[in-house]
Chain A
Amino acid sequence: MDTVYSRALGGKTGAAGLIVLCALLFLVFPLTLDNFRLNLMAKYLSYSFVAIGLVLCWGYGGILSLGQGLFWGFGGYCMAAFLKLEAARNIAREAGTDQIRALTTVGLPDFMDWNQITQLPYIWYPFRSFPITIIMVFLVPTLLAYIIGLAMFKRRVIGVYFALITQALCWLMEILFVTRQGWTGGINGITDLRTCLGWDIRTKSAMVTLYFVTCICVVGCVVLGRLILASKLGRLLIALRDGEDRVRFSGYSVANQKTFIFCVAAAISALGGALFVFNVGFMSPKLVSIEPSIYMVIFCAVGGRYSLVGAVYGAILVNYGKTYFSEQFPNLWYYFMGAVFILVTRFFPRGLAGIVEDIIPWVQRRIAARLVRGRVPAKRPAPVTRLAVEEPVSGS
């Protein structure tokens, strides 16, 4: 049965995983967490988009990008630009002293004032309109990914080389954004965002609404990822990852396939960045530099680089760990993180999803043994039609 539904749900286990995730996101968390923590959860979920994108382009496509922060950040900055312009326009109407009103130019973000910029730079013009901003959020990162991807993949730059170049590009972006203070708010980023189309995004009820919007987008991206993976393109990606030459000799333009999935990952990341800005209220270059970009890879690795649903859990868990550990045991945090990096590559390459996949048959056998009273059934051979997961493969 090859309907859209079955592909999106991903079979029995896939559907179960998706249902559990939805239950957690839409029922358990809203009912058990207070507003503050719900908002934190929304922040974690904003990061999970990058992890979802990485499952597609890294787990299945074999393309490791250490610079996903670049796309996430661009999406965020685009949205922040719009929200900042709106805040600047409304500043005159906000309650505040006359002194403040005298110092600021209506319609111009404050950091431009501080940098003696008196007119809105042309680059900011598109962000005066909400629909265009939405388009830019997706267009700019995707275009960037397209250029980078095509340039690299057509020249057969792959593996570690590609990863290092994405890292360098991400670093470049951070430098650019920090130095163009007048345009981007410099090292502080774009802050003090207040309303979106008149709706105050800082109120408690707004935060809850935004949480649910984020959840819907997360699930949407997971389903989109499933659809892509279930298509012929998905199988091609696996084939590509394992044998690029062979795919080329089957008549496929490998560069195009890779660029496509890289662009998809970029677009999904950009969405995450934009949602982050809504949920947290600012965007800064520190969030998009090398270190956060590597963390985003770890979200994906911890959750399971072959599991879209796992990526979401990975993002939540690692971020939660970071918040908790950094408060309680700040010194231990780096040791712990280092250990996570090592564990996830050396011992658990399939991440938590892999552990779950291994545990479920074990649990099933134990339960069956209990029921049959005393006879442990022989280990059932793994179902052969399942998309099997990667063993160490020579790749570079």
Chain B
Amino acid sequence: MYMLATSWADLKAILIMQGFAGFGLFGVFLLMALGLAIIFGQMRVINMAHGEFLTLGAYTTVWCSHFVDHHGPWMLPYYYPVAIVLAFFVAAIVGYFVEILLVKYLYLRPLDTLLATWGVSLIIQQALRSIFGAREDSATLPDWLMGSWSPTDAIDIPKNAVYLLGIALAMLLLVYILLYRSKWGLSVRATVQNREMAGAVGINTKWTDRMTFALGCGIAGIAGAAFTTIGSVSPQAGSLYIVDTFIVVVFGGAGSILGTVLSAFGIAQAQSILEFFLSGVLAKIFVLLGVIVILMFRPQGLIASKVRR
């Protein structure tokens, strides 16, 4: 379905808008991929339940919004940042328990971890269904998050996309500082590169793993909070993103934050822009196929980790 743009200015405007619309999606992708990349890069664990942590974060936000609706609508403009923080902690705590009870026993068997975490995702999904019901729900958003911003007549940029991107970039910065500028981040990187040696110098590798897993899940929770600004939430909301997220992480190169960012950006943008020319489904197919073909030529992803294992 090709639309003939009537002028170059029009086309440019459309591309920019598609680009920015893509930013909203990109923000969610980025946060999900960031969380997963941390977990996968650190522990080579594929967390199939990652989408469910997004859903957990989203439902936390929705719950907050309902709470605000019932108990104090005056809180409406202020509750959202609180909800984000809460979403992080809810997801992180659940992730913490998943690690303690299950994942830590399966470190040497990544394929089994894949299956086991799929089981966790089923359980979480059903639990959410029982608590919140199977129908979609959404959060009442404060005014400052809604609407769009029009720098020119032809361009209409949705506000939530900008804020979403802002949240994602802020998280990225935070994670970067955490991983590369803090003592804890140092122990995380040490454990990734040489687990035995790290343990030998007194780093509690088990604790590091646990915290890392919880952090990754927490970030997915934030993705969920962010997600409420662009869509409504259902128990299956997260699982729709999971395959895409894995592809983003694998394509970016396991264990590389920069790779994940580039990959998320590239894939989200490619999809958004292609979606304009082709039907949504065909765009997805082409992007996916393209990624797989590239992966075959460069299996280590965009930015390979330089670790000699």
Contacts and interface: CB of A to CB of B under 8 A. Distances in A.
Interface of A: 58, 64, 66, 151-152, 155-157, 159-161, 163-165, 167-169, 171-172, 175-176, 179, 290, 294, 297-298, 301, 331, 334-335, 337-342, 344-346, 349, 392-396
Interface of B: 44, 46, 102, 105-106, 108-116, 118-123, 125-126, 129-130, 243, 246-247, 250, 279, 281-282, 284-285, 288-289, 292, 295-297, 299
22 contacts: A155-B299, A159-B110, A160-B44, A160-B110, A160-B111, A164-B243, A165-B250, A168-B247, A175-B281, A179-B281, A334-B123, A337-B119, A338-B120, A339-B119, A341-B116, A341-B122, A342-B116, A345-B109, A345-B113, A345-B115, A346-B102, A349-B109
A335 B243 contact: no
B115 A301 contact: yes
A179 B126 CA distance: 29
B296 A155 contact: yes
A309 to B, nearest CB: 21
Q: By DSSP majority rule, is chain A's interface helix, strand, loop, or mixed?
A: helix
A58 B111 CA distance: 10
Nearest to A347: B105
Nearest to A340: B119
A172 B118 CA distance: 20
A64 B116 CA distance: 14
Nearest to A298: B115
A229 B121 CA distance: 34
Given A335-B126, A339-B119, A393-B109, A168 B299 contact: no
Q: By DSSP majority rule, is chain B's interface helix, strand, loop, or mixed?
A: helix
Contact of A393 (B108, B116, B119, B130): B108
Contacts of B296: 151-152, 155, 157
Nearest to B123: A338
Contact of B106 (A58, A167, A345): A345
A294 to B, nearest CB: 6
Contacts of B247: 164, 168
A252 to B, nearest CB: 20
A337 B122 contact: yes
A161 B288 CA distance: 14
Contacts of A152: 296
Contacts of B110: 159-160, 395-396
A325 to B, nearest CB: 12
A298 B119 CA distance: 10
Contact of B243 (A171, A340, A394, A396): A171
Given A290-B243, A338-B122, A172 B288 contact: yes
A163 B129 CA distance: 28
Nearest to B293: A151
A63 B98 CA distance: 26
B285 A176 contact: yes
